[in-house]
C-alpha cells in the first residue's frame, strides 16, 4: 500500500474447536466511520464454513498496537445441513475495531488448521486503505463477497462458477489466486469466474482467492495526518485500494448421466433474482427474497443459504420437480448502510444448482418503489410511473441504467420507452423464461456532499416463455433504437442493411451476420421516427470497427463532422427523416473478418438555422459557434449495425477461359482502385479474387520455369554423357594401339 495509508490485515482465530474440517470463509466490511476523537471505527462480518462446530467464539488480537479497542460478537450459526449427516454448516460473527489516529497501519493475525481434516493450514486476511476518497467524499470501502458453505458439482457438468464481487464504491474488482491454483482450474480475473481448463479430478478442491478493487477514474485519498495519495486509474501497476481474501472448497462429484440444467441438476426459474443483483432493504421493515428451482428427474430437498444472522428460510415443495425458497430478514439500526452478501443453491442428493448471489443494501428509510405499469411490444417496452405513488420524488434526478436515455413526464406520469437492445436493458435466461430487464434509479450530482432527496429504485421487465418463439420479439441484428427526450418525446431509429441501391428490400434478421465480398457495394439506411412532426435527420458521423464496441481504438471513419471521409461513400437522396448511403466493402488489416458500422445521429426541427443539422459538413478546426439555446435538436445518439462478415471466393471455375479472365480483370483500370497510401495501415481493399488469380499466374509461371529448367538439365546431362562416352572410347582405342606397337 502507499505511504500514509492504513493497512488492515485481518486473520480469523477460530480456536481449538475449529481445528478440523475448515471449508473456507469470507469477510465483508461495514462502511467505515470516523469518530469524534479522530479515530476510525472498522466493523466487519466474518462467515465461516465447516462440517461441525460452526458456532464458535472468534477472538482477535492486535499485533502492532494500532488498535485502541476490539469488540467481538458471538459467532452464530446461520445455516446447516438438515439431513442429519452434518455435512456442512455456516456461521457469522461481527467484530468492531477502533484504529488509532497516530498509526498508519495495524494488523490482526493468526492461522488455523486444517482444511477438511487435512494438514494444510489456512489464513484469512484483508488490507484496507482507510483514506477519504475525492469522488465519494467518504472513507474507502472494500469489495463484498461470500459463498455457500459447501459447493458441489458433477465432474462432467462443471464449466464455470460465478463468484460474487461487488464494490460499494463502484470500483473495478479483480480476482486472483492467493496461492497455488488446483490443477486444470483457471480464473477469469475481471469477471471473477472460475472455469476448468482440462479434466478436473473427483474429490475436494480448496481455493484461496484475493479480491482487489481499483478506481475507474482518477481519485485522491486524504488521511488524518494531512497527507494525500493520488491514484491514476490508467496505471496498471497501481496498488489496490482494498484486498479481501475469499476461501472456499469445491467438491467434484462422480459424473452424472445427464448434465442438462433442470434434468437432474436443479435449474433456477424466472422468479429467482439474477446473479449480482442489488436488492434493497430498510431498517425496521421485513425483507423478503423469493427463489424457485426445478429438477425434472430428481428431488430438491432444501436450499443452502449464506446470509446474515437472524435470516430465516422457508422451503416449499411444489409439483413437477419444483421447489421454492423464501428468505426473510429484519435489518436493525446497526445494519444501516450495510452491503449484505446473500448466496443460495438448490440441493438434491446427487448434486446442487448453480450458485446465485445478490447484494442486499440496507438504508434507514424505505427505498421508494412507486407504482409502475409496463407495456411489452414486439421490439420495445414502455414503463409509466404514477407520480401520485411517489410523493416528494424529484423527477429531474431519475435515470435509466444508460444515462444517455432520458425520461419524459406529464402531469400524472413519468415515462420511458426503449428497445430490448438499448438503454442498458439486460437479457437474462431465467430457465423457463427469457427476460428483458431495466430499472429507474435516482442519482446524485458529483459535486453534492449531502442530499435530502428520497431514493428511487424501480425495476421493470418484459418476459417471454421459452416455449413460445420470441424471434418476432427480439431481433438478433441491431435495429429499432428507441430514445426519449423532453423536447422530442419518444423517437427511434432503424438501422438496416439493404439488398441494393433501391433501399427497399432489407436483409432479413435471419441472414445476420451479412456475408459480403471485398470491393462489393454495401447499402445501408437509417430511418428516424418521432412523435414530433416536421423533424429532419442528420448523420454527424459513421465509423467502422472490427467489433461492436464503438470505442475500439482500431476504427476507420466513413463520415466525420458531417463530412464524407471515404472516397467510396455515396449518399442517396431520401426523405428528411431517412439517410441512405453505400460504401465499398473493406476489411481491417490483421486477423479480422468482421466490420461493424456505428453512426452518431441527431434529430432537428426543420428549418431551424441554428441547429446542427443546418450546419452540415463542418471541419473540426473551423467549426463555428452555434447558439444552442435557439436550436431545437436531440443530443447525438449512437446506433450500430453489423456485422459484415467477409468470405473468401473460390478460384474461377474451369469453364472460364483463364487467359481471358485474367486479361479482362487486369486490363480494366477501374477494377482495382488503389487507396491513398495513408490509408493502407487501417484499410485493405484488395479483392481476394485478384490474389487468387495472381497466385494462379505465379503458379503457372513457376511450372513453366521448372519444366524448362528440367528439360535443359536433361539436355546438358545427355551432352555430358555423349562427351565422356566418346572420350572413353578414344582412350580405349589409344591404349589398344600402344599395346599392339609394344608387342
Which CATH number characterizes residue 508's domain? 2.60.40.4100
Matching residue, cell 474488482: 173
pLDDT confidence of 445, banded at 50, 70, 90? low
H/E segment holding residue 91: strand 89-99
Mean pLDDT of 261-267: 91
Task: Give strand ranges (E) for 471-588.
Answer: 481-485, 489-498, 514-516, 521-530, 535-545, 556-560, 563-564, 570-572, 578-584
531 to 483, 588, 701: CA distances (angstroms): 11, 39, 66
Answer whether 47's CB lies under 8 Å from 148's CB. no
Specify the pLDDT at position 675.
39
- Mark whether 491 and 576 lie in a shared domain: yes
Tell whether 414 is covered by a domain. Answer: yes
* DSSP three-state, residue 20: coil
Contact status, residue 278 vs residue 363, Cβ threshold 8 Å: no
Cβ–Cβ under 8 Å, residues 134 and 128: no
Instruction: Round to whole Å and give the CA distance between 582 and 595.
Output: 15
Dihedral through CA 398, CA 401, CA 406, CA 407, nearest 10?
A: -50
Res 329: pLDDT? 96
pLDDT average, residue stretch 187-215: 92
Using the 3D structure, point to which of 618, 646, 674 is the last residue of a domain. 646
443 pLDDT band (50/70/90 cuts)?
Answer: low
- DSSP class of residue 296 equals T
Say how far apart CA 713 and CA 656 lie, in whole Å: 35
The answer to whether 312 and 342 are in contact (CB under 8 A) is no
- Quick one: pLDDT band at residue 677, thresholds 50, 70, 90? very low
CA-CA distance, 125 to 6, in Å (whole number)? 14
Asked whether residue 191 is assigned to any structural domain, the reply reads no
Maximum CA extent, the chain: 142
Which residue is it, cell 572410347?
Answer: 729
Q: Are the CB atoms for 149 and 304 separated by under 8 Å?
A: yes
Residues 6 or more apart whose Cβ sits within 8 Å of residue 492: 380, 419, 480, 481, 482, 483, 528, 529, 530
Residue 568 sits at φ, ψ, to 5 deg, of: -95, -5
Q: What is the mean pLDDT of residues 664-668?
A: 36
Q: Report whether pLDDT(700) > 60.
A: no
| pLDDT at 522 (0 to 100) | 94
Task: Assess if residue 198 is contained within a domain.
Answer: no
Residues 397 and 525 in one domain: no
- Beta-carbon contacts of residue 623 (< 8 Å; ≥ 6 apart): 561, 615
Measured CA to CA, the distance from residue 5 to residue 695 in angstroms comes to 65
Residue 424 sits in a domain whose CATH number is 2.60.40.3210
**Ramachandran region, residue 680 (left: φ > 0; alpha: ψ -120 to 50; beta: rest):** alpha
Residues 640 and 674 in one domain: no
Does 238 fall in a domain? no
- The residue assigned the cell 463542418 is 618
Residue 100 lies in a domain: no
Look at residue 20 and tell me if it is in a domain.
no
* Residue located via cell numbers 477472538: 59
pLDDT for 490 equals 64
Q: Could you say which DSSP state residue 144 is in?
A: B
Predicted structure pTM score: 0.58
Strand order in the sheet with 278-282: 278-282, 356-363, 339-347, 302-306
- The per-residue pLDDT for 290 is 94
Residue with cell 488521511: 223
Q: At 662, is the pLDDT very low, low, confident or very high (cuts 50, 70, 90)?
A: very low
- Report how far residue 441's alpha carbon sits from residue 458's, in angstroms, rounded to the nearest whole number: 7
Nearest to 359 by CA among 335, 383, 376, 342: 342
- Across the range 481-485, mean pLDDT stands at 64
Instruction: Indicate whether 228 belongs to any domain.
Output: no
Let me know whether 663 and 639 are in one domain.
no
Question: What mean pLDDT comes out for the span 160-178?
Answer: 93
Cβ atoms within 10 A of the Cβ of 129, count? Answer: 26
CA angle 388, 394, 399 (to 5 degrees): 105
Q: Could you tell me which of 313, 304, 311, 324 has the C-alpha nearest to residue 281? A: 311
Residue 62 is predicted with a pLDDT of 67
For residues 659 and 735, the model is more confident at 735
Q: Is the same domain home to 737 and 671? A: yes
554 plus 620 within the same structural domain: yes
Residue 198 and residue 229 in contact, taking contact as beta carbons nearer than 8 Å: no
Give me the chain's average pLDDT, please: 77
**All three cell numbers of 405:** 436515455
Counting the structural domains of the chain, the total is: 3
Residues 641 and 654 in one domain: no
Between residues 100 and 545, the one the model is more confident about: 545
Which one is predicted more confidently, 134 or 714? 134
Question: What pLDDT, on the 0 to 100 scale, is given for residue 444?
Answer: 55
Q: Which of 465, 498, 515 is a domain's end point? A: 465
The answer to which of 18-32, 380-394, 647-661 has the lowest mean pLDDT is 647-661
Please give the grid coordinates belonging to residue 365: 428509510
- Cα–Cα nearest to 307, from 107, 3, 121, 49: 49
Any idea which of 136-140, 150-154, 196-200, 266-270 has the lowest mean pLDDT?
136-140
Domain stops at, among 646, 673, 690:
646
* Average pLDDT estimate for 563-578: 92
Give pLDDT, residue 181.
78
By 3-state DSSP, what share of the chain in percent is helix, strand and coil, each rounded to 5? 15, 40, 45
Q: Is the pLDDT of residue 119 over 70?
A: no
Instruction: Name the percent of the chain lying above pLDDT 70.
Output: 70
The arithmetic mean of pLDDT across residues 322-337, rounded, is 93
| Model confidence at 682: pLDDT above 90 | no
Q: Are 98 and 69 in contact (CB under 8 A)?
A: yes
Residue 631: pLDDT band (50, 70, 90) is low
Mean pLDDT for the stretch of residues 353-378: 76
Intra-chain end-to-end CA distance of the chain, in Å = 111
| Separation between Cα atoms, residue 287 and residue 362, nearest integer Å | 10
Strand partners, 572: 580
Higher-pLDDT residue of 396, 512: 512
Secondary element (H or E) of residue 619 = none
Distance CA 168, CA 141 (A): 6
Residue 236 confidence (pLDDT) above 50: yes
Domain check: are 497 and 407 in the same one?
no
Using the predicted structure, report yes or no on whether residue 372 has a pLDDT greater than 90.
no
Residues 452 and 538 in one domain: no
- Statement to judge: residues 449 and 520 lie in one domain: no
Highest mean pLDDT among 231-245, 541-555, 622-636, 699-713: 231-245
Of 130, 331, 318, the C-alpha closest to 223 is 130
CA distance 23 to 48: 8
**If you average pLDDT over residues 596-624, what whole number do you get?**
81
Can you give the pLDDT at residue 45?
Answer: 93
Task: Give the length of the chain.
Answer: 743
Distance of alpha carbon 109 from alpha carbon 115, whole angstroms? 18
Residue 230 lies in a domain: no
At residue 107, the 3 state secondary structure works out as strand
Cα 107 from chain centroid?
35
| pLDDT the model gives residue 540 | 92
Sign of the Cα torsion 14, 19, 22, 24 reads: positive
- For 189-201, the pLDDT digits (tens) are 999 999 988 889 9
Whether omega before 408 lies within 30 degrees of 0, making that bond cis, reads no
Residues 640 and 495: their CA atoms lie apart, in Å, by 7
Same domain, 378 and 494: no
Which segment, 82-96, 342-356, 391-405, 693-707, is predicted with the most confidence on average? 342-356
More confident: 655 or 446: 446
- Looking at the fold, whether 502 and 579 belong to one and the same domain comes out as yes
Provide mean pLDDT across the span 137-141: 86
- Outline where 540-670 has alpha helix (H): 612-615, 658-667
Answer yes or no: is pLDDT of 303 > 90. yes
Band of residue 207 on the pLDDT scale cut at 50, 70, 90 = very high
User: 451 is in which domain, residue-wise?
Assistant: 371-465
Amino acid at each position: 500500500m502507499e505511504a500514509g495509508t492504513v493497512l488492515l490485515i485481518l486473520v480469523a482465530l477460530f480456536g481449538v474447536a475449529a481445528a478440523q474440517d475448515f471449508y473456507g470463509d469470507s469477510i465483508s466490511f461495514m462502511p467505515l466511520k470516523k469518530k469524534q476523537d479522530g479515530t476510525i471505527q472498522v466493523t466487519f462480518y466474518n462467515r465461516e464454513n465447516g462440517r461441525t462446530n460452526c458456532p464458535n467464539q472468534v477472538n482477535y488480537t492486535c499485533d502492532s498496537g494500532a488498535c485502541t479497542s476490539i469488540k467481538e460478537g458471538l459467532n452464530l450459526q446461520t445455516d446447516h445441513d438438515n439431513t442429519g449427516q452434518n455435512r456442512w454448516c455456516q456461521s457469522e460473527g461481527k467484530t468492531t475495531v477502533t484504529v488509532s489516529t497516530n498509526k498508519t497501519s495495524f494488523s490482526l493475525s493468526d492461522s488455523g488448521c486444517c482444511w477438511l481434516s487435512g494438514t494444510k493450514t489456512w489464513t484469512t486476511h484483508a488490507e484496507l486503505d482507510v483514506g477519504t476518497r475525492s469522488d465519494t467524499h467518504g472513507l474507502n470501502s472494500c469489495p463484498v463477497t461470500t459463498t455457500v458453505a459447501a459447493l458441489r458439482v458433477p465432474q462432467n457438468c462443471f464449466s464455470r462458477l460465478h463468484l460474487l464481487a461487488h464494490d460499494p464504491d463502484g470500483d473495478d474488482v479483480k480476482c486472483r489466486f492467493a496461492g497455488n491454483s488446483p490443477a486444470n482450474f483457471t480464473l477469469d480475473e475481471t469477471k471473477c469466474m472460475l472455469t476448468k481448463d482440462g479434466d478436473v479430478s473427483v474429490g475436494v478442491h480448496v481455493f484461496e482467492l484475493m479480491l482487489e478493487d481499483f478506481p475507474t477514474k482518477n481519485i485522491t485519498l486524504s488521511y488524518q495526518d494531512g497527507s494525500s495519495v493520488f491514484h491514476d486509474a490508467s496505471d496498471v501497476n497501481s496498488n489496490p485500494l482494498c484486498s479481501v481474501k475469499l476461501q472456499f472448497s469445491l467438491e467434484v462429484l462422480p459424473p452424472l448421466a445427464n448434465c442438462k440444467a433442470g434434468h437432474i441438476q436443479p435449474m433456477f426459474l424466472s422468479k429467482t433474482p439474477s446473479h449480482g443483483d442489488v436488492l434493497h432493504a430498510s431498517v425496521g421493515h421485513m425483507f423478503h427474497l423469493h427463489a424457485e428451482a426445478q429438477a425434472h428427474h430428481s428431488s430438491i430437498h432444501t436450499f443452502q443459504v449464506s446470509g446474515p444472522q437472524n435470516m430465516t428460510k422457508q422451503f416449499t415443495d411444489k409439483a413437477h420437480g419444483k421447489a421454492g425458497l423464501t428468505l426473510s430478514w429484519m435489518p436493525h439500526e446497526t445494519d444501516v448502510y450495510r452491503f449484505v452478501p446473500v448466496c443460495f443453491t438448490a440441493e438434491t442428493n446427487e448434486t446442487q444448482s448453480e450458485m446465485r448471489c445478490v447484494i442486499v443494501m440496507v438504508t434507514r428509510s424505505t427505498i421508494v418503489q412507486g407504482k409502475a405499469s409496463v407495456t411489452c411490444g414486439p421490439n420495445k417496452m414502455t414503463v409509466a410511473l404514477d407520480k401520485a405513488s411517489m410523493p416528494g420524488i424529484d423527477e429531474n434526478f431519475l435515470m435509466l441504467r444508460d444515462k444517455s436515455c432520458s425520461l419524459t413526464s406529464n402531469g400524472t406520469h413519468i415515462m420511458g420507452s426503449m428497445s430490448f437492445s438499448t438503454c442498458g436493458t439486460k437479457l437474462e435466461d431465467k430457465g423457463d423464461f427469457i427476460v428483458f430487464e431495466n430499472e429507474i434509479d435516482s442519482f446524485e450530482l458529483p459535486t453534492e456532499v449531502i442530499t435530502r432527496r428520497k431514493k428511487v429504485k424501480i425495476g421493470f421487465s418484459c418476459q417471454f416463455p421459452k416455449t413460445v418463439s420470441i424471434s418476432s420479439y427480439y431481433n438478433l441484428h441491431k435495429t429499432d433504437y428507441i430514445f426519449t427526450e423532453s423536447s422530442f418525446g419518444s423517437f427511434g431509429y432503424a438501422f438496416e442493411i439493404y439488398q441494393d441501391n433501391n433501399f427497399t428490400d432489407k436483409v432479413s434478421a435471419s441472414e445476420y451476420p451479412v456475408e459480403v465480398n471485398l470491393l462489393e457495394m454495401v447499402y445501408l439506411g437509417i430511418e428516424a421516427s418521432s412523435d414530433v412532426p416536421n423533424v429532419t435527420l442528420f448523420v454527424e458521423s459513421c465509423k467502422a470497427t472490427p467489433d461492436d464496441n464503438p470505442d475500439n481504438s482500431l476504427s476507420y471513419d466513413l463520415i466525420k463532422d458531417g463530412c464524407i471521409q471515404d472516397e467510396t461513400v455515396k449518399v442517396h437522396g431520401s426523405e428528411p427523416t431517412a439517410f441512405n448511403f453505400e460504401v465499398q466493402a473493406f476489411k481491417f488489416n490483421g486477423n479480422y473478418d468482421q466490420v461493424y458500422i456505428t453512426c452518431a445521429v441527431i434529430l432537428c426541427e426543420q428549418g431551424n438555422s441554428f441547429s446542427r443539422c443546418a450546419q452540415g459538413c463542418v471541419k473540426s478546426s473551423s467549426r463555428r459557434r452555434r447558439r444552442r439555446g435557439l436550436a431545437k435538436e436531440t443530443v447525438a445518439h449512437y446506433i450500430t449495425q453489423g456485422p459484415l462478415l467477409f468470405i473468401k471466393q473460390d478460384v474461377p471455375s474451369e469453364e472460364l477461359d483463364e487467359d481471358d479472365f485474367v486479361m479482362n480483370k487486369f486490363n480494366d483500370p477501374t477494377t482495382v482502385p488503389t487507396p491513398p497510401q495513408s490509408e493502407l495501415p487501417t484499410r485493405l481493399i484488395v479483392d481476394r479474387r485478384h490474389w487468387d488469380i495472381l497466385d494462379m499466374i505465379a503458379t503457372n509461371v513457376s511450372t513453366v520455369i521448372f519444366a524448362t529448367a528440367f528439360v535443359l538439365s536433361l539436355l546438358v546431362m545427355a551432352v555430358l554423357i555423349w562427351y565422356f562416352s566418346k572420350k572413353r572410347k578414344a582412350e580405349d582405342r589409344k591404349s589398344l594401339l600402344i599395346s599392339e606397337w609394344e608387342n
